[in-house]
A = this chain, B = another copy of it.
Amino acid sequence: MGISDRKEREKEELRDRILIAAKSLFLERGVEKTSIRNIADRIEYSPGIIYHYFKDKNEIFHALHQGGFIQLMEKMQVLNSVRNPMERLKAMGSIYVRFAMENPDMYDLMFIKEAPIDHVFNSKDDQWKEGGGTFNFLRKTIEDCIAAGYFKGHDSEALSYMIWSTVHGMVSLSIRRRCEVVLPDRQDSIVVDGLEEFYKILDRL
């Protein structure tokens, strides 16, 4: 058993090396410009070997984007210390936006790209589906807000989707360079400024 365990580990090792190479290349130049041959070059194997560890290129980037969700979820942990649900909601927005702006390529992979989402539907253990996903965390917070008297007459699920969309919209328009065109002077601050406007609205409720 011990021996076959070691074999298992050694096999996993190459899988990890592929993933590490893929990740560094992806962070250097993005998904599209990272080719199977690039990855193979970096780990000094032939391109074919990659298909013994991953079904296709999508599966590699699906595996990578899983790490992003864990990262994001970790940053959300500090929210457990925020008692007031409305304060928690706002802090959540700030953490979400900061994560996106500090890791734009990872955010892109997680929430914008077409690529890895196809794989999500076929794969069993996936960060999207898993119980404590980020969206459910948001929904729970919204429900706490409603219980505390905020958002009277709202549908918590649809409201969660709307609020998620607000922060996602702001960061994704920025990442995909649509605010550079529309607000060239404020491109650096507009996402944070927009978030501020959202908080002003929440404060008035």
Chain A residues with a Cβ under 8 A of chain B: 111-114, 117, 120-121, 128-129, 133, 135, 153-155, 157-159, 161-162, 164-170, 172-173, 176-183, 186, 190, 193-198, 200-201, 204-205
* Residues of chain B lying within 8 A (CB to CB) of residue A153: 200
Across the interface, A172 reaches (CB within 8 A) one of B133, B172, B179, B201, namely B172
- Assembly of this chain: how many copies? 2
Q: A128 touches which one: B154, B165, B181, B197 (CB < 8 A)?
A: B181
- Residue from B114, B162, B193 within 8 A of A170 (CB atoms): B162
A-B pairs, 10 with minimum CB distance: A169-B169, A165-B169, A158-B193, A162-B194, A165-B170, A168-B169, A128-B181, A166-B166, A159-B197, A162-B197
Q: How far is the CA of A155 from the CA of B165 in the complex (A)?
A: 20
Listed residue (A111, A165, A173) with the most chain B CB atoms within 10 angstroms of its CB = A165
